[in-house]
């Protein structure tokens, strides 16, 4: 989980209700996405914060069984939340995160799709979906997810590129795909890394946009 992003959301939701979870449809936020305004009830804000805490706990736990339990608890809370507040894009995105961590990749893709329907261009949802594509060996779609992000949010795109580097460095037998496909992706990642470094100074963020 990108804890810096989700933590910010958690802090926002800690304030007095009602809360605004998304940017009004007439305006654009930092990543260029737009979404209708949604008002949170105190109950929903509390549930979301509890889910965030469980997700962060799962990320921090080294024991797989304990991490699984934390993600499963967070998933249950988020499923309840989006059932009550289906217009909450961040809720769908976080639900997709827990599903992906639990190995339910198709469910995760569906949740990310919901988040992106509600908030087109949502960078974290695009990045998480790209990682899910990797786990499903849908390499072409993972590449496209990176290209979409690179055009709109290079910092988040860099996160996906790092995930791709980790994926291609794992033993080929762990993926269940043809070795040539892995070699092709590895070369593609190297090329995209060079492009990102060479063009970083041309972006609004300058050198800060360069992935490390």
Q: Which sequence spans correspond to the domains of the chain?
A: 1-136, 137-212
Give 145-196 pLDDT, tens digit per residue. 999 999 999 999 999 999 999 998 887 666 678 888 888 999 999 999 999 8
Confidence of residue 39 (pLDDT cuts 50, 70, 90): low
Contact by Cβ (8 Å): 74, 102: no
How confident is the model at residue 174, as a pLDDT?
A: 64
Residue 60, C-beta contacts closer than 8 angstroms, at least 6 positions apart: none
Mean pLDDT of all residues in 65-90: 96
Query: Average model confidence (pLDDT) for the chain?
Result: 81
Contact by Cβ (8 Å): 149, 211: no
How far lies 211's CA from each of 15, 164, 198, 208, in Å? 34, 13, 11, 8
Query: CATH topology for 1-136?
Result: 1.25.40
Residue 49, C-beta contacts closer than 8 angstroms, at least 6 positions apart: 10, 13, 14
**How many residues in total does the chain contain?**
212
pTM: 0.76
């Amino acid at each position: 989980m990108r804890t810096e992003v989700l933590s910010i959301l958690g802090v926002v939701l800690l304030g007095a209700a009602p809360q605004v979870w998304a940017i009004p449809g007439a305006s654009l936020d930092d990543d260029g996405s737009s979404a209708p305004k949604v008002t949170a009830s105190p109950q929903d804000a509390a549930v979301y914060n509890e889910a965030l805490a469980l997700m962060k706990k799962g990320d921090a736990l080294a024991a797989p069984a304990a991490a699984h339990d934390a993600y499963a608890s967070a998933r249950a809370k988020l499923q309840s939340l989006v059932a009550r507040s289906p217009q909450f894009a961040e809720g769908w995105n976080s639900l997709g995160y827990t599903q992906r961590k639990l190995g339910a990749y198709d469910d995760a893709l569906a949740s990310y799709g919901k988040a992106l329907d509600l908030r087109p261009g949502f960078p974290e949802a695009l990045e998480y979906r790209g990682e899910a594509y990797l786990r499903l060996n849908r390499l072409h779609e993972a590449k496209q997810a990176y290209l979409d992000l690179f055009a709109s949010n290079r910092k988040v795109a860099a996160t996906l590129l790092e995930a791709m580097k980790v994926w291609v460095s794992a033993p080929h037998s762990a993926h269940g795909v043809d070795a040539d496909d892995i070699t092709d992706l590895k070369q593609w990642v190297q090329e995209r890394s060079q492009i990102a470094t060479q063009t970083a100074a041309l972006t609004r963020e300058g050198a800060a946009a360069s992935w490390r």
